[in-house]
Homo-oligomer: A and B are copies of this chain.
Amino acid sequence: MNGSPIPSFGFEIMHRDKGSQARCGHLRTPHGSVETPNFIFCATKGAMKSVSLQQMREAGAEIILSNTYHLLLRPGGRAVERLGGLHRLMDWQGPLLTDSGGFQIFSLGHGGVAQEIKGHRPFENDYSRTLIRVEEEGAVFRSYVDGKQFRLSPELVMETQRQLGADLVLALDECTPFHVGKAETEASMERSHRWEERSLKAFLAHDDGRQALYGILQGGVYEDLRARSGAYIAGRPFFGQAIGGSLGDTAERMHEVVAMTSRYLHPERPTHLLGISGFRDIWNGVACGVDTFDCVHPTRVARHGIALVPPSLAEGRGFLNLKNSRFRCDDNPINADCPCYGCRSFTRSYLHYLFHARELLGGQLLTMHNVAFMVQLMRQIRQSIREGRFAEARKEW
């Protein structure tokens, strides 16, 4: 290691489950390594909403994600670079991933694709439709900050991500909504491949060992397309691979598509599943060999009074809605077994009160709780794989 100024990237698989493709690994980056499977929390615009990254660390978060699309528009890649990069700006010393912006440009642009692709979650942003047109060169859109026109090309995305300076970066792809047919999905996948090829070329032209690039598999719900996309990505020197595109419109379909897609993944590369955080989805993803997940869901719902809990605490569901009147006089912590600040210090009744009084502290405490919950969940998954009882633990959930 001596003599090498920048610690290298790496991914080592340490344990494999016998009954599935689940695996435990170490994902190494210049800003430290994380054990996998793990969950990546979303500091979308270069900040967590309602908590500091110090509080994120205390809650157990090890790796976070920021959004190239939003940061490109404000404060801009060059501004972040001049100020020392995103790690320094946010004061985050751990591993950091930036996504390519493709998902945002298409979902915000169409005004509803996010819901279509990821299921029917409430669509919180009220950006007007900002996508102007998609050209072979890139996607032309209007900034929601100042109306300025941008062309999101693979080259701009790679340059911006270099300026932001995250450890793990993503190639630009086109997001295809699931309601389109096979021919359109195929054409879109092929464009994604061309954009990813250009992303890789732009990445390698400036590669100094500080960043590692993930390719993204497209192909929607069609197995032959997923097979082609898998081969395309696996055949190129990407460090990691992400499963993108439409995964179908129901949880069951998503599990099928992830399982089917997993057959075409490079077996030794770290694998990321984009935008997924449901418990069953995570257990199923891990069973298919997924190493990392990300989603705004755990921290977003926290701001609306939803605390994630083991199903045994919530009549089989995985959450409590603390705004519910039955918590008005409930003197218990959210979860007596949870080590988070909120559970150590406060009652459900106080949290119930905070949400009704619209005190920001409620969202802050639940954000830390939900982070601690996801951290614990991923730890349990890893432990069950190491101890050879993954299938059993999965059933318990």
Q: Which chain A residues have a beta carbon within 8 Å of chain B's beta carbons?
A: 45-52, 54, 70, 74-75, 79, 82-84, 89-91, 328-329, 331, 341, 345-347, 349-350, 353-354, 356-357, 359-362, 364-365
Known contacts A89-B347, A329-B79, A350-B90; A357/B52 CB under 8 A: no
Count of identical protomers in the assembly: 2
Please, which residues of chain B bring their CB within 8 A of the CB of A329? Answer: 79, 82-83
A357: contacting residue among B45, B51, B328, CB under 8 A: B45
A89: contacting residue among B45, B89, B350, CB under 8 A: B350
Contact A357 B89 (CB under 8 A): no
A364's closest neighbor in chain B, by CB?
B52
A353: contacting residue among B51, B74, B347, B357, CB under 8 A: B74
> With the chains together, A164 CA to B305 CA distance in Å?
25
Please, which residues of chain B bring their CB within 8 A of the CB of A74? Answer: 353, 356-357
Please, which residues of chain B bring their CB within 8 A of the CB of A48? Answer: 361
Contact B49 A359 (CB under 8 A): yes
Contact B360 A54 (CB under 8 A): no
Known contacts A74-B357, A353-B75, A359-B47; A83/B364 CB under 8 A: no
> With the chains together, A84 CA to B360 CA distance in Å?
22
CB distance from A358 to the nearest CB of B (A): 9
Please, which residues of chain B bring their CB within 8 A of the CB of A89? Answer: 346-347, 349-350
Query: What would 18 A/B residue contacts be, using CB atoms closer than 8 Å?
Result: A45-B357, A46-B357, A46-B359, A47-B357, A47-B359, A47-B361, A49-B360, A49-B361, A50-B361, A50-B364, A52-B365, A70-B357, A75-B353, A83-B349, A83-B350, A89-B347, A91-B345, A91-B346
CB distance from A352 to the nearest CB of B (A): 8
Contact B79 A359 (CB under 8 A): no
CB distance from A87 to the nearest CB of B (A): 12
Please, which residues of chain B bring their CB within 8 A of the CB of A357? Answer: 45-47, 70, 74
A331's closest neighbor in chain B, by CB?
B83
Contact B359 A360 (CB under 8 A): no
Please, which residues of chain B bring their CB within 8 A of the CB of A362? Answer: 47
A353's closest neighbor in chain B, by CB?
B75
CB distance from A237 to the nearest CB of B (A): 35
Please, which residues of chain B bring their CB within 8 A of the CB of A331? Answer: 83-84
Identify the interface centre among A49, A89, A328, A364: most chain B CB within 10 Å of its CB: A364
Contact A361 B52 (CB under 8 A): yes
Please, which residues of chain B bring their CB within 8 A of the CB of A45? Answer: 357, 359
A74's closest neighbor in chain B, by CB?
B357
Known contacts A52-B341, A91-B345, A341-B52; A354/B47 CB under 8 A: yes
Please, which residues of chain B bring their CB within 8 A of the CB of A347? Answer: 83, 89
CB distance from A334 to the nearest CB of B (A): 14
A360: contacting residue among B75, B83, B349, B360, CB under 8 A: B360
Identify the interface centre among A54, A83, A353: most chain B CB within 10 Å of its CB: A353
Identify the interface centre among A341, A356, A360: most chain B CB within 10 Å of its CB: A360
> With the chains together, A54 CA to B79 CA distance in Å?
33
CB distance from A58 to the nearest CB of B (A): 9
> With the chains together, A79 CA to B74 CA distance in Å?
46
Q: Please list the 10 inter-chain residue pairs (A to B) with the smallest Cβ-Cβ separation, ordered nearest first.
A: A91-B345, A47-B361, A47-B359, A50-B360, A75-B353, A89-B350, A45-B357, A83-B349, A49-B360, A47-B354
